[in-house]
Amino acid sequence: MFKDNLLKGKRILVTGGGTGLGKEMATHFAKHGAEIFICGRRENVLEETANELTKEYGAKVHFSTLDIRDSKDVDSYIQSIFDSGPLDGLVNNAAGNFISPTKDLSPKGFDAIANIVFHGTFYVTHAVGKRWIESNHKGSIISILATWVWTGSPYVVPSAMSKSGLNAMTQSLAAEWGQYGIKVNAIAPGPFPTKGAWERLNPNGEDGSVMGDHPMGRVGEMNELQNLATFLMADGCEYLTGQTIAIDGAQYLTGGGTFSNLSKLSEDDWEQMRNMIRSSNNKDKADR
């Protein structure tokens, strides 16, 4: 889809880039020439991913352990990157989530998610953004959200609340930081199976059915998400900012529609429905 050198010369940080969606995006950026920074809580997976990307694409990949819940650690980590040169892109991918009836959540359970998603993502965005503004350097920010920012979602309330806050951050910072050439967007992926997310959100099954019927009858393919992230990270579409783009095969639109379940009807069912509706219409007409 893109030229191999599309992101050449760009330095991009992907939080939580050692595994899951973060690794997939980091891989695609590396494949297209970017220098990559990944951080997360587990050194072994970060190191493995860094080695893999270097071996596969000859990419320059730096990794560091970081818990984004600690604002001081975040600031020193971002400073250490900027000491060797500015970043050009940031992907706020690190997150935490698990399904649970909300009545069973403890305050610590709520905080575990809100501190990572809501607070941590702000700390990283702030630490990078203020350095871009100070040094008059342009940049692109992508936050990985979920379609719950528009619909809410039962059983993942701390995540839905936190990601909704980040949706507001995306819109607000696009308006506030546009004058500095900082592009702020978000991606709301539908079901893209990854080990970390599936173990916590779909612990019983493999097919994603716990997340509802899908209008396209399939989950997302990783290259679809990679292409969108790469497009948002590349130069050439600076006017696109403040947007949260769903990539979910219209799942959330379908789920939200009053008549979504009608997609299950057969041709025969429809014929029967049509006849019933016509018969009502005809009865009405006879009374006119």
Tell me which residues touch ligand HXC (CB under 6 A).
95-98, 100, 106, 108-109, 112-113, 146, 159, 190-191, 196-197, 200-201
C-beta of 97 vs 140, nearer to ligand HXC: 97
Q: What is the 3-state secondary structure (H, E, C) of 95-124?
A: CCCCCCCHHHCCHHHHHHHHHHHHHHHHHH
Residues 6+ apart with CB under 8 A from 59: 30, 31, 33, 34, 35, 36, 53
C-beta of 98 vs 231, nearer to ligand HXC: 98
In DSSP terms, 125 is beta-bridged to: none
Comparing CA positions, the residue from 17, 41, 20 lying closest to residue 30 is: 17
Task: Give min distance, CB of 109 to ligand HXC, in A.
Answer: 3
C-beta of 94 vs 182, nearer to ligand HXC: 94
C-beta of 108 vs 264, nearer to ligand HXC: 108
C-beta of 40 vs 139, nearer to ligand HXC: 40
Where is 189: in which H helix or E strand?
strand 182-189
Task: Give min distance, CB of 43 to ligand HXC, in A.
Answer: 15
In DSSP terms, 39 is beta-bridged to: 15, 64
C-beta of 139 vs 255, nearer to ligand HXC: 255
Comparing CA positions, the residue from 102, 103, 243, 209 lying closest to residue 161 is: 102
Residues 6+ apart with CB under 8 A from 127: 74, 75, 77, 78, 79
- Rounded Cα distance between 183 and 72, Å, is 25
Question: 75 near 127, Cβ under 8 Å?
Answer: yes
C-beta of 59 vs 228, nearer to ligand HXC: 228
- Rounded Cα distance between 137 and 131, Å, is 8
Comparing CA positions, the residue from 150, 154, 189 lying closest to residue 167 is: 150
- Rounded Cα distance between 238 and 253, Å, is 27
Task: Give min distance, CB of 284 to ligand HXC, in A.
Answer: 45
C-beta of 163 vs 183, nearer to ligand HXC: 163
- Rounded Cα distance between 262 and 217, Å, is 15
Task: Give min distance, CB of 152 to ligand HXC, in A.
Answer: 13
Task: Give min distance, CB of 97 to ligand HXC, in A.
Answer: 4
Task: Give min distance, CB of 34 to ligand HXC, in A.
Answer: 24
Task: Give min distance, CB of 144 to ligand HXC, in A.
Answer: 8
Q: Which residues of 89-103 are buried (b: 16+ CB within 10 A; e: fewer)?
A: bbbbbbbbbbebeee
Residue nearest to ligand HXC (CB): 96
Task: Give min distance, CB of 171 to ligand HXC, in A.
Answer: 20
